[in-house]
Amino acid sequence: MSYFSELAAQYIDGEWLAGDGSWDIVDVDPYTGDKLATVTVATVEQVDRAYRAAARAQKEWAATNPYARRLVFERALRLVEEREDEITRAIMAELGGTALKAGFELSLTKDMLRECMQLSLLAEGRLLPSPVDGKENRLYRLPVGVVGVISPFNFPLFLSLKAVGPALALGNGVVLKPHQETPVVGGTLLAKLFADAGLPAGLLNVVVTDIAEIGDAFLEHPVPKVISFTGSDRVGRHVATVAASHFKRTVLELGGNSALIVLDDADLDYAVDAAVFSRFAHQGQVCMAANRVLVDRSVVAEFTGKFVAKIASLTVGDPKDPATQIGPLINPVQADSINAQVDQAVEAGATVLLRGATVGSLMDPVVLTDVPADSPILRRELFGPVVIVVPVDGEDEAVRIANDTPFGLSGAVHTADVERGVRVAHRIETGMIHVNDGTIADEPIVPFGGEKNSGVGRLNGEYTVDAFTTVKWISIQHGRSRFPF
């Protein structure tokens, strides 16, 4: 079965449909440039149909026993396990993901499906005391109704599921708009898996479209009560503004500019391994990736020599080759943008420690140092295989530079003294940070999210319950209340 021939469509109210728009999104392999599929875009009217279908189906779904809801996720997990080879090939083709990346994404996906089984049972109510005699206060956790989900291209299967799965598990309906670069892996493949797992028709809808066709209709539609967006801070700001103007809640998982700090007592070989993975996993197209490696000046020469040598040994090429560690960026435009930022930094005085060629979407790793303190590249999210080594004089300077960015998603600190690492970690303005590990981590019950421009809200575990449910207070007066008039 070819996912790209079968699933290049809209999925609305349980039906596979052609888009009604007047133009097509062309889905291409970022390594070869070959066309995988074309999808005619969904219109405003089809977005409306999708939301209305989700709203109709949600009522019965919310009333379904949560133990029955969890069975859908059990079946979906089995299907992912059975179809792992096919899904891996789809990730390689549509994303340019290597075998390592595909395995990592599938592992996260399976963990999230297991977590969704538990989430189905976590919407617990409470009884609260009252200062009024004879009054009983009941708090009920209820689904919000319908959730609109907008997902990115870098980990599209997992990051779509990260919002879609919990929202469904908690009794909501969902409309998903995947990124235009990954309409199948990030959208219709998920719809196919859930349909085959027995999810009732209408609960999950996938609309493949673009703002050029629908404007802000996906955000402004009256049905969804929560919008979950994963992507850039620029687009996230727009999503938040539009949603707030319509009194909708948002969950925003945005970009990062993580720092991996290597203190003077760190295990340098281990820190090198952590830093290389933290920067170059999936070509650096990871929001948690370590853009900056801050190294104590007393060990920077030794660290940098080992770091550059390991990066130079990485295999760049065809993601379908099992030996490849760095595949293509999502498109040539992204590669050109990253190279332009590198050129700007070099013109301003940065030193190039390693730089190869760029051919189409395929970009060799770049290592910079001596980047001027006022260089924009130090404060931006770099969604590509570029890393900056920054020498620092002690903990205080490391903390200051790590925090000198509008982002605050992830980070890491390497030291022989764990408690020293924890003290430094407390001073870094991020939602997540790791001592003696990489900057890339996501676990199904641990809160995931950032500070500053890296987002609003948290996902995973009980924090997802807060994101996709609402609380209703029902009081019962046993006996008669006394009113003042």
Active site residues: 253, 287
| CA distances for 288 relative to 17, 99, 266, 399, 434, angstroms | 36, 20, 21, 18, 11
Task: With CA atoms as reference, report the closest residue to 160 among 94, 216, 71.
Answer: 94
Contact 412, 391 (CB under 8 A): no
The runs of H, that is alpha helices, within 120-267 are: 156-169, 189-196, 211-214, 217-220, 233-245
Amino acid type, 263: L
Contact 117, 163 (CB under 8 A): no
Helix (H) or strand (E) holding 307: helix 300-312
Residue 113 backbone dihedrals phi, psi, to 5 degrees: -65, -40
Bridge partners of 292, per DSSP, are 259, 388
> Could you tell me the two tokens for 221?
């539609």
Q: How far apart are CA 145 and CA 149, in angstroms?
A: 13
Q: How far apart are CA 90 and CA 62, in angstroms?
A: 33
Task: With CA atoms as reference, report the closest residue to 303 among 313, 312, 293, 315.
Answer: 293
